[in-house]
Amino acid sequence: MKSVRILLLVLLLLMLVLPGSAYAQTYLFSVDAVSVNVFWNEDGTSSIDYVFIFTNNPSASPIDFVDLGLPNSSFVDSSIYADVDGAAITDISRSGFQGSGTGVALGLGANAIQPGQTGRVHAFIGIVNDVLYPDTEGDNYASAVFSPNYFGSSYISGSTSMRVTFHLPPGVQPEEARYHSAPSGFPSTPEAFLDEDGRVTYSWVSPDANAYTVYQFGASFPLQYVPESAIVKPGFLEVLGIDPGDLFGFTMCCGFFGFIAAIVGLSARSAQKRKLQYLPPKIAIEGHGIKRGLTAIEAALLLEQPLDKILTMILFATIKKEAAKVTSREPL
């Protein structure tokens, strides 16, 4: 009978624990491959085409959302398209993005990648503005810099085969373009060729990259191939290497502490002023009503008249009572 009770207790505990485990979201996956093509367009915008190959861990939760980070917030939402294994998805939103910086969340919905399965996620962002800056090596060149999307290291296992390809604006000649230093783990010299549209193309490839490191790639080309208005001019703070967002936060912090310090200072000053309004404390014996018949000197003492005036009154009183006399008026 005792063993039956123990068995029932164990079954009850399992019933309480297992449902909670089933609802817990545990993401763990590998990004087997990433291919991203960045098109630097003749109007100064960029278009980005991503392809991810995910393999979900057998013991993990389904991959139902993919956070896709973008260069800035100046992208056109209606220009974004995404699909999973060729099936289009419509749940694409800024508000659902949970990563750092700015981007969109891709809701895979019914196409979620199940535990132990592999899926291909494709996303195309048609228009991203404010992506070109003056090149630091010359006034007549534009600088195009891009960092591929990355994920939290706690969700990633294994390495990633990564290919990042730049397509420079139409008309740029091979001898005019130049590429920037490659990030660690990538060849110092990218593959250079002309794409099917005749555009100068640089491609950086690494079979042993990872999907949680922030890699940065860049290239430069003459300003004449894009509108001058498309070049983002750095402000005074950016020239000095100061992030305006960091400065704003610092200013707000200083303002807050300054406000607190001002309140404390004003409170202390007000308290000091209140103290000055009172006479200094005195020790006296309690009397019995108003005293009358005080002499002028006694009244002057109580009224806290200046000491020289009181001494003059005492001298005058002694002379009047003939207790003293003036022997000489000049000098007195």
pLDDT greater at residue 73 or residue 18 = 73
Distances (CA, A) of 289 to 144, 285, 292, 299, 302: 94, 12, 9, 16, 15
pLDDT greater at residue 55 or residue 317 = 55
Domain residue spans in the chain? Answer: 26-232, 234-273, 295-332
What is 26-232's CATH superfamily?
tricorn interacting facor f3 domain (2.60.40.1730)
User: How much is the pLDDT for 211?
Assistant: 96
Does residue 223 register a pLDDT over 60? yes
Does residue 21 register a pLDDT over 50? no
The stretch 84-112 carries a mean pLDDT of: 95
The stretch 138-159 carries a mean pLDDT of: 93
pLDDT greater at residue 122 or residue 285 = 122
Dist CA 16 CA 23 (whole Å) = 12
Using only the alpha carbons of the chain, give its radius of gyration: 41
Per-chain mean pLDDT for the chain? 85
